Structure 1
Amino acid sequence: MKKFFIFSVLILFSYYFKSFFSVTEVFVKTEGLFVLGVILLGSFLLAGILKKIKFPGIIGYMIAGVLIGPEMLNILTYKNLSDLHFLENLAIAFIAISAGGELKLSKIKSNLTLINLMLFNQIFVLFVGLLIVLIPLTKILLGSVIQNTQILIGFSILFSITALAKSPAIIMGIITEVKAKGRITDLVLAITVLKSIIVVMIFPLAITYAKTYLIDGFIFTLDQIYQSGTIIFSSILLGLAVGLIIILFLKFVNVEKALFLLIIGILITELSHMFELEILICAMVAGIVVENFSSKGEELLSGINKISLPLYITFFTFAGASIHLESIKKAFFITMALIVLRLFFLYLSNYLAGKWLKEDDLVTKYSWMGFVGQAGIAVGLANIIERSIPGEIGSLLISILIATVVINEFLGPIFFKYLLTRAKEVNA
């Protein structure tokens, strides 16, 4: 009750303070710092309140983002989100390094068959199953609004690809929060990291192919495959180089680790932005290199843990603030239908893998709960739809796409924490 009172006072004070002083010159210059302070304090307090009732703290960060974001109190405005976007990228870099650093090849070898089969099923069964169902389903549900079959096929491809995406941030956030350790934790983390790398690699090609249905006269060429391959290869090279730098520093210098890792995070984000590389691949590869090709993996993770909390809070608060509530209201029923379909095929893919290898019920019937949360890649897809299909039809498809990702982003931490609790890997 005390935390809730402090949280309420903080939010109300911030709202009225910003309303009265937003036009002053001093406030304009320091607005970013003020908003960042509200994010860190408010989100941390709300997460603490939700933890008391056994909800993941990540949900608290996201709810705080919705509350103070542009759609509600507007303490955190769209301009603030844009101005502080570098913090979001920095958080992604740290989350990805941590995820790569937790990926131990020795543990993958011990579960190699199961990981490979689950990975294949989650990509093939989920994508193909959704695509087969979605093409006729969207025609039934959206046929009265969208008569163009090509557009419906293009959207079905985009949605099916989006459904594959997993959020390493949610996985790392929950694992860190509940101090999870064990076979299920390792299994979910390994598949999440590997699938994220695979999805990031095939994503540009899938989007480009979908454009052939969404944009009249658009042709899929080999040159586009070459460009995507170059970006991926360059991202891996940068990751290898950064991993080597981290190893050398920890081996020969090993002072002020937190400051050094902060510089590394900035280096990855800036170079990725400058050369249009994939931050996720660069950072994950760097973490994998340090963990598996040196003895400095634990030192890397302990250094990141010292500075990760403010970045986690900022990342998930931004995720909540970026949610378009209007999008969810506009397409609620079809959104829920698509979410249920995705969960069904996710369950089916893991169930088939578990049954084939004669795994226990924890793997066969419950492991799918670790893969519900999604990455925030819908924004990029929404931009494609917006450019390709302007007007009411494009707006409707954007709303459906974003709404499904948003709801899955909220469901993900809840399902994953339940799975870890059932597996008795919390506080292990």
Structure 2
Amino acid sequence: MNDTLVAFAVLAWLAYLASRLLARHHLPELVAFLIVGALLGPSGPVPFIQLIDEPSLNALRPVTEVALAVLMFVIGERVSVRALRAARWTLTTGVIQFALSAIAVFWVTSRLGADRPVALILGALAGAGAPMTIAHIVSSVRARGSYPTGIVGTHAVSDALATTTFAAVLPIALLLSDEAADVGGAILNFVQLGIGGAVLGLILGWFISRLGFQIETSGELLLFVLVHIVIAWTIAGFVEISLPLAALVAGATAATVSPQAFSVSLFRTIKTIEQPLYLMFFALAGASIHLSDVPKVGLVGVAYIVVRVAAKIVGGLVGGLTGGLGWRRSFGLGVNLTPQAGVAVGLAVIASESLSDVGSDAGVEAATVVLGAVVLFELIGPLLVARDLRGWSSEEDPNGAVPEEFELPARVLVAAPVPVDLPEWLIDQAARWRSSLVVLMPGERDDPHTAKIGERCGSRDVDFEFRSLRSESFTGAVVRSRSQHQADLVVLFAPRPPAGASRLVLLPAERIARQLPVPVLTFPLNQSDAESESADPGSGRVPRPRRLPWQNPGRSE
């Protein structure tokens, strides 16, 4: 085992150096991970420089599977209900291009003489994508906006559909390959591989959302998620269900059922270990690539590659237009959907092992075609995707359009534990957004400072509503007011943490941000300003309004 770890350490070091060299030429580092792994793996072209052999790959397989599960959990955020609403064409494109790829590949390979089990498996796997590959490219070229995010989501949808379809097709392929096959066993395989993975993912995602919400530090939250993904890996291996599908569904579930603030914090925390996981997974995936399989794909393999690319392009065009993406982006979308890895490789191996158990070579033939095609798709596809996405380096597209997921807030809740003078820029911004303001702070509607805020809002044609903060806690009042007024944005003026305060205890602003499903902006108040918060609200004494740190004390109102 020590030799295996040393060999992997050297492989990872060389892959990292190669990625830095490619980065100087504006090429995605993922390509370097795959190339180094393929050259130094068991099927590398130069036998005497092979670092990783087959026994080492088998020993490191649990590490690869857990890394894949963590990355698929992160990808699940891209197919949550919020993400699908933001990029509406993601779901339509994912379904249409998958259906076209599956039907076209099955029909063409059947006409070219492939056995029915082979054609069925190739059709089920043709629509699978490479969400981790695309997510890494999006990160490496620093692409921003709804289009790059939607591409990752489309690949994730494709993988979910491929896993479910494969679970339904594999029992049929087994029955066609072995007349003595048990129908009940075939149905059980479908339930285990497809439905079981989805159920495990739903439970895992809900569990992480409900319990993870109580965790206060990012380190503990990361440990919490990793421990439960390892538990899911153990369960998936024991009952033989799809771990990638379970992890994908778990990520989507956690992102959907969690409050938005916690969801952002959760996935931001996990993404801190993305880079080493990408290197680990793709370097070992490259070592698993059999370069000798490429010449063996034959006519069926060539047809698989050509038909799959054509179906992706047509499906991207139709799905993009159906989802309102536009002609120019819809036409180029199909090229960005061509990379294939991860799930397709894993499912091909499962098909090969399952069909070999009944004495059929159909699984080996299908796996050879898929693995040979994956070599081409993974080495060429990322270069094409990176070239297309490199122009999306800002939050706006080349035409200056605002990303689809950005919506201006209709109502803004402004809250402070002490009376404050609202800054001019906040009222000006509300006027530009045509938003109404709900102000929550101590005092009454007819107090001088409150009346002054109302006058300034009225001079800029901003709707203004005042809510008095009385005896209840500041955190509870903000959460209740946000729900009552359906605010789309919360602006807090909160005290700074006192010197020496423990970071194991959440500040009121942090507790509020975790409980609200909308963005929360927090601006600091001086500690002396916040001391008046302890004044008895029922005493009738109202603290005088405080100027904020950035306001000019000499300026007349």
Matching residue of 2:247: 283
**CA 1:335–1:423: 2 relative to 1, 3 Å:** farther
Answer whether contact 2:121 2:366 (CA < 8 A) is retained.
no
Q: Deviations over 1:146-202 (max 9, x none)?
A: xxxxx6232222212121111222122223323332121232222222232222122
Deviation (angstroms), 1:223: 5.7
**CA 1:267–1:187: 2 relative to 1, 3 Å:** same
Matching residue of 2:67: 91
Stretch moving more, 234-243 or 162-171: 234-243
Deviation (angstroms), 1:86: 0.8
CA RMSD of aligned residues (A): 2.8
Stretch moving more, 176-185 or 158-167: 176-185
Matching residue of 1:412: 381
**CA 1:333–1:427: 2 relative to 1, 3 Å:** farther
Alignment partner of 2:52: what SS? Answer: coil
Question: Partners in 2 of 1:231 and 1:381 — Cα distance?
Answer: 12
Question: Partners in 1 of 2:23 and 2:359 — Cα distance?
Answer: 43
TM-score (norm 2): 0.63
Deviation (angstroms), 1:359: 4.2
Mind listing any 5+ residue stretches in structure 1 that lack a counterpart? 1-28, 140-150
1:19-418, aligned counterparts within 5 Å? 29-72=1-44, 73-112=49-88, 114-136=89-111, 138-139=112-113, 152-213=115-176, 215-218=177-180, 221=183, 224-225=186-187, 227-229=189-191, 232-255=194-217, 256=219, 257-295=221-259, 296-331=262-297, 335-355=301-321, 359-375=325-341, 376=345, 377-384=347-354, 386-387=356-357, 398-418=367-387
Answer whether contact 1:95 1:168 (CA < 8 A) is retained.
no
**CA 1:414–1:220: 2 relative to 1, 3 Å:** farther
Q: Which has the higher helix share?
A: 1
**CA 1:221–1:394: 2 relative to 1, 3 Å:** closer
Answer whether contact 2:143 2:392 (CA < 8 A) is retained.
no
| Aligned amino acid, residue 201 of structure 2 | G
Q: Deviations over 1:258-301 (max 9, x none)?
A: 33333233222122112222212221222222222223122222
Alignment partner of 2:216: what SS? Answer: coil
TM-score (norm 1): 0.81
**CA 1:48–1:372: 2 relative to 1, 3 Å:** same
Alignment partner of 1:252: what SS? Answer: coil
Question: Partners in 2 of 1:124 and 1:196 — Cα distance?
Answer: 12
**CA 1:394–1:231: 2 relative to 1, 3 Å:** closer
Question: Partners in 2 of 1:426 and 1:43 — Cα distance?
Answer: 31
Mind listing any 5+ residue stretches in structure 2 that lack a counterpart? 398-557
Question: Partners in 1 of 2:61 and 2:324 — Cα distance?
Answer: 46
Answer whether contact 1:47 1:58 (CA < 8 A) is retained.
yes
| Aligned amino acid, residue 379 of structure 1 | V
Deviation (angstroms), 1:110: 4.4
Answer whether contact 1:50 1:57 (CA < 8 A) is retained.
yes
Q: Deviations over 1:71-118 (max 9, x none)?
A: 223211111101111111111111111011233423412443x33432
Answer whether contact 2:27 2:383 (CA < 8 A) is retained.
yes
Deviation (angstroms), 1:417: 1.7
Alignment partner of 1:166: what SS? Answer: coil
Answer whether contact 1:382 1:401 (CA < 8 A) is retained.
no
Question: Partners in 1 of 2:175 and 2:106 — Cα distance?
Answer: 16
Deviation (angstroms), 1:395: 6.1
Alignment partner of 2:143: what SS? Answer: coil
Question: Partners in 1 of 2:363 and 2:214 — Cα distance?
Answer: 55
Deviation (angstroms), 1:379: 2.0
**CA 1:77–1:230: 2 relative to 1, 3 Å:** closer
Residues matched between the structures, number: 385
**CA 1:218–1:372: 2 relative to 1, 3 Å:** farther
Stretch moving more, 118-127 or 309-318: 118-127
Stretch moving more, 220-229 or 122-131: 220-229
Question: Partners in 2 of 1:286 and 1:63 — Cα distance?
Answer: 31
| Aligned amino acid, residue 45 of structure 1 | L
Question: Partners in 2 of 1:153 and 1:62 — Cα distance?
Answer: 32
| Aligned amino acid, residue 371 of structure 2 | I
Matching residue of 2:451: none
Stretch moving more, 352-361 or 196-205: 352-361
Deviation (angstroms), 1:311: 1.8
Answer whether contact 2:348 2:366 (CA < 8 A) is retained.
no
Question: Partners in 1 of 2:328 and 2:182 — Cα distance?
Answer: 43
Stretch moving more, 412-421 or 197-206: 412-421
Q: Which has the higher strand share?
A: 2
Deviation (angstroms), 1:413: 1.9
Alignment partner of 1:71: what SS? Answer: coil
Question: Partners in 1 of 2:328 and 2:258 — Cα distance?
Answer: 33
Answer whether contact 2:80 2:252 (CA < 8 A) is retained.
yes
